[in-house]
Amino acid sequence: MKNDKFIFGAIFLFVVGVFFIRGIVFLDPDFLWHLKFGEIVATSGIPRTDPFSYTMPSFLYVNHEWFLDVLLYFAYPIVGQVGLVLFYLALVVGVYLVGVYGRMEIGWKEYSVLFLLFMAPVSAYFGVRPQIASWFLFAAFLRLIFDQVSWKKWRLFTPLLFFVWANMHGGFLSGLVAMFIVVVVRSVVAKRILVVDFVLLLICTLATLGTPYRELLWREVWSSIADSSLRYRVSEWRPFVFAADVSIAGLVGLSGGFAWAYRRKMALEKITVYIFFLIQAFLSNRNIPLWAISAIPVTIEGFEIFKRQIGNGKETRERYLIAFNAVLYMAIFIFAMRAYLSLKDAVALREDVFYPVGAVQYLKQTEREGRMFANYGWGGYLIWKMPTEKVFIDGRMPSWENPSAPANETTSVMDDYFAILRGDLEFEEQFGKYGITTVLWNPEPARDSVSRFELLLLRLVFGEEAAKPGIDLGKELLESGWVVRYQDKNSVVFGKET
């Protein structure tokens, strides 16, 4: 027993260390505009329209993470990157602890295996990111609603939970969906309508209107759900088949095996929620953490049932321990493999590796006229580093649509951005429309990292448009008379005489 505790402690420190290193190294592009938005709210109030772009400045901008952005703005000067990483790391660990707390029928080895298999796929999405707070609230809500005793005792407080949740992140919808599934399934099993719970579901939904954006919050959340183009334009939104993260295999196998084997012993609503979010994880990588959270209660209960079944016989227990040691080694291998990839990805998004650090310094020191067109992935960085410079596009805008946009704006900046890069829109015409005289771009043509298999899948799933190759923008600029003003290993600045 003491040895098992030591093993869990060693595994815990190893996993937490990996997450901490990733959080310190990884600079999320969205973190930067969140910081700037928090400053605007704290000093000037919530802006009604987009404060950062020149392509859609009249768009009714909804930031469903506004409250966390304000906290971020006040916390960052005090605790810095390290403090923020520790806070979000505590939330991720808290997600696991909320799921396993008080479940004493299983041992430390089982805790170790579940911790490794849960944290492996989640590591790919860790950073200073608002959605992690949503993960924690989702885990807490599942723990509450799956325990019928606690649910009856505390359910009247759930509208308050959803009010807070809606002001922190759009992930509140995952909680409402889970609640709907649970209430419907329990009604079917009980063969009667659970009126109180359905009324509570309605009140929780209405509570999400208690934000500065009111009903516009739902417009923003729905636009992301309904926008099928996100599934091929933004890697984190792509279906699982395009990433094929095998680190989820261990948790799928363990939790799915338990769900199937003990389907008659587990609560039907628990299995239904698990299956729903598993499907969502396969439809979009972004949902993998939500599914992993829903897998915790299924796996914990599966362990408990299994251990009760094998009993306390000496021979049976010895066989179980031998077999389970093999499972533990497999879980360690899976996490180590995923940790390597997660840290590698983090290094690729380190500030001095991915972002145009030198170009930004050059642009700050150079007098220019006109506006700038830049890489989509650098938009948040430019908002942070060059706050007086409006951007063409950034990570907030993939699903924005404004059919009534004035002539000097666009109805969909993401469509225009990709149309320019594919050559469907003449860049000179678009640059002239917005008065663009500077282009901040990659120093070499972006290497096509999409395999032939992925291109085939893109064509089959999303059509020819999704797999259409892009132009070499740098080459096109030079051939059109633009000149290189600055260049380093990360970026190149093209200029045009005004």
DSSP codes of every residue in 409-442: S-S-HHHHHHHHHHTSS-HHHHHHHHTEEEEEE-
Q: Report the percent of the chain where pLDDT is more than 90.
A: 72
Contact 53, 397 (CB under 8 A): yes
Summarised one tens digit per residue, pLDDT across range 284-315 is 888 999 999 999 999 999 998 988 887 777 77
What's the average model confidence in pLDDT over 180-203?
97
Q: With a cut of 50, say whether residue 98 has pLDDT above it.
A: yes
The yes-or-no verdict on residue 238 having pLDDT over 80 is no
Kindly provide the b/e burial profile for residues 164-178, where b requires at least 16 CB atoms within 10 angstroms of the residue's own CB. Answer: ebbbbbbbbbbbbeb
pLDDT exceeding 70 applies to what percent of the chain? Answer: 92
d(C-alpha 265, C-alpha 262), whole Å: 5
> If you average pLDDT over each of 60-64, 236-240, 245-249, which comes out highest?
60-64
Q: How would you classify the pairing of strands 483-487 and 371-374?
A: unpaired
For residue 361, what pLDDT band results from cuts at 50, 70 and 90?
Answer: very high
What pLDDT, on a 0 to 100 scale, did the predictor assign at position 229?
A: 72
Choice among 83-87, 120-124, 194-198, 228-232 with the minimum mean pLDDT: 228-232
Rounded Cα gap, residues 68 and 135, in angstroms: 14
What are the backbone dihedrals phi and psi of residue 439, each rounded to the nearest 5 degrees, phi first?
-125, 125
Pick the more confident residue, 453 or 400. 400
What is the pLDDT averaged over residues 429-442? 94
pLDDT at 214: 94
- For the chain, what is the mean pLDDT? 89
Q: Residue 211 in 3-state DSSP?
A: coil
Alpha-carbon distance of 417 to 33, in angstroms, equals 19
77-85: average pLDDT = 95
Q: Round to whole Å and give the CA distance between 103 and 147.
A: 12
Can you give the pLDDT at residue 174?
97
What pLDDT, on a 0 to 100 scale, did the predictor assign at position 241? 66
Q: Using one digit for the tens of pLDDT, what is the confidence trace for 389-405? A: 999 999 999 889 999 99
The helix (H) or strand (E) run that includes residue 495 is: strand 492-495
Torsion (CA) 182, 187, 190, 194 in degrees, nearest 10 = 110
Is residue 437 helix, strand or coil? strand
Q: Which secondary structure element, helix H or strand E, spans residue 493, and what is its range?
A: strand 492-495
Residue 460 reports pLDDT greater than 70: no
Quote the pLDDT of residue 217: 94
What does pTM read for this prediction? 0.92
Task: Determine the pLDDT at residue 193.
Answer: 96
C-alpha dist (Å) from residue 149 to 144, 145, 146, 303: 9, 9, 9, 21
Residue 110's identity, in one-letter code, is E
Confidence of residue 2 (pLDDT cuts 50, 70, 90): low
Two structure tokens written together for 174? 């995952």
Question: pLDDT tens across 167-191, in order?
Answer: 999 999 999 999 999 999 999 999 9
Residue 163 has what pLDDT? 98
Task: Give the pLDDT confidence of 340-351 residue by residue, as tens digits.
Answer: 999 999 999 999
